[in-house]
Structure 1
Amino acid sequence: MKMWNIVDIALFLVNACAIRCRGIEQRQAEKLKTGEKENKGELMMKTRRLTKWLSTLCVCSILFGCASANPDSEKQDTQWPKKIVLVQMPNENNPAADSQHEKFGQALSEYLGIEVEAMEASEYTAAIEGMAGGNIDVMLVSPMSYFQAKERAGAELLVSTPMSAEYVSAFIVRSDRDDITGMEGLRGKTFAFVDQASSSGYLYPKAALVKQLNLDPDQLESSDYFFKTVAFSGSHTTSVSGVQMGDYDAACVAKSIIAQMAEAGAVNAEDFKIIGSSDIIPNPAYVARGSLPEDLKAKIKAFFLSYKDADYFEAVHGNRDIRFVEVTEDDYQPAKEMLDLLHIEFGD
Structure 2
Amino acid sequence: MLCLRVIDGYIPKPQIAAKIGAMTLAACLWVLPMTAKADVTLTFGTYAADKPTETVRKYRPFLSFLAERMSEELGEPVIIKMKIAKEYEAGIEQLANGVVDFARFGPASYVHVVNKNSDVQMVAMESKKGGKRFKGVIVVHADSDIQSLEQLRGHSFAFGNELSTIGRYLAQAELLDAGVGSGDLQDFSYLGRHDLVGEAVGAGRFSAGALKESTYKKLVAKGVPIRVLATFDNVTKPWLAGADVPPNIVAAMRRVMLSSENEDIVQQIAKNGFLEGSDSDYDLVRSAMEKSQLF
For the residue of structure 2 that corresponds to 1:335, the secondary structure is helix
Q: Does 1:148 align with 2:112?
A: yes
Partner of 1:327: 277
Cα separation, 2, equivalents of 1:205 and 1:187: 15
Matches within 5 A, 1:181-200: 181-200=147-166
8 Å CA contact 2:150–2:178 kept in 1: the answer is no
Matches within 5 A, 1:213-232: 213=179, 215=180, 220=182, 225-232=183-190
Q: From the superposition, tell whether residues 131 and 250 of structure 1 become closer, same or farther in structure 2 (CA, over 3 Å).
A: closer
Deviations 1:234-270 (A, max 9, x none): 322222222222211222222232322233x343xxx
For the residue of structure 1 that corresponds to 2:184, the secondary structure is coil
| C-alpha deviation, 1:80, in angstroms | 6.1
Cα separation, 2, equivalents of 1:308 and 1:80: 31
Q: Does 1:243 align with 2:201?
A: yes
| C-alpha deviation, 1:277, in angstroms | 2.5
Q: From the superposition, tell whether residues 170 and 127 of structure 1 become closer, same or farther in structure 2 (CA, over 3 Å).
A: closer
For the residue of structure 1 that corresponds to 2:178, the secondary structure is helix
Q: Does 1:212 align with 2:171?
A: no
Please, which runs of 5 or more residues in structure 1 have no aligned partner?
4-67
Partner of 2:123: 158
Q: From the superposition, tell whether residues 274 and 78 of structure 1 become closer, same or farther in structure 2 (CA, over 3 Å).
A: closer
Please, which runs of 5 or more residues in structure 2 have no aligned partner?
1-11, 28-39
Cα separation, 1, equivalents of 2:223 and 2:267: 21
Q: TM-score, normalised by structure 2?
A: 0.75
Q: From the superposition, tell whether residues 232 and 162 of structure 1 become closer, same or farther in structure 2 (CA, over 3 Å).
A: same
Partner of 1:293: 246
Q: From the superposition, tell whether residues 166 and 127 of structure 1 become closer, same or farther in structure 2 (CA, over 3 Å).
A: closer
Q: From the superposition, tell whether residues 308 and 119 of structure 1 become closer, same or farther in structure 2 (CA, over 3 Å).
A: farther
Q: Give RMSD over aligned pairs.
A: 3.0
Q: From the superposition, tell whether residues 310 and 258 of structure 1 become closer, same or farther in structure 2 (CA, over 3 Å).
A: same
| C-alpha deviation, 1:2, in angstroms | 5.2
Cα separation, 1, equivalents of 2:86 and 2:66: 18
Amino acid at match of 2:291: L
For the residue of structure 1 that corresponds to 2:147, the secondary structure is coil
Q: From the superposition, tell whether residues 135 and 273 of structure 1 become closer, same or farther in structure 2 (CA, over 3 Å).
A: closer
**Which region of structure 1 is more displaced relative to structure 2, 158-167 or 229-238?**
158-167
8 Å CA contact 2:138–2:228 kept in 1: the answer is yes
Cα separation, 2, equivalents of 1:247 and 1:2: 66
Cα separation, 1, equivalents of 2:186 and 2:245: 49
8 Å CA contact 2:111–2:286 kept in 1: the answer is yes
**Which region of structure 1 is more displaced relative to structure 2, 235-244 or 162-171?**
162-171
Q: Does 1:123 align with 2:73?
A: no
Q: TM-score, normalised by structure 1?
A: 0.65
Cα separation, 1, equivalents of 2:264 and 2:17: 42
Partner of 2:32: none
Partner of 1:257: 215
| C-alpha deviation, 1:175, in angstroms | 3.2
| Greater Cα radius of gyration, structure 1 or 2 | 1
Higher helix share: 1
Amino acid at match of 1:304: M
Cα separation, 2, equivalents of 1:85 and 1:201: 27
Amino acid at match of 1:302: R
Cα separation, 2, equivalents of 1:108 and 1:165: 24
Amino acid at match of 1:342: S
| C-alpha deviation, 1:146, in angstroms | 0.8
Higher strand share: 2
Deviations 1:125-182 (A, max 9, x none): 212222333222111111111122112232121111114687322222223322x111
Percent of aligned pairs with the same amino acid = 18
Amino acid at match of 2:136: S
Over 6 Å off, 4+ runs:
none
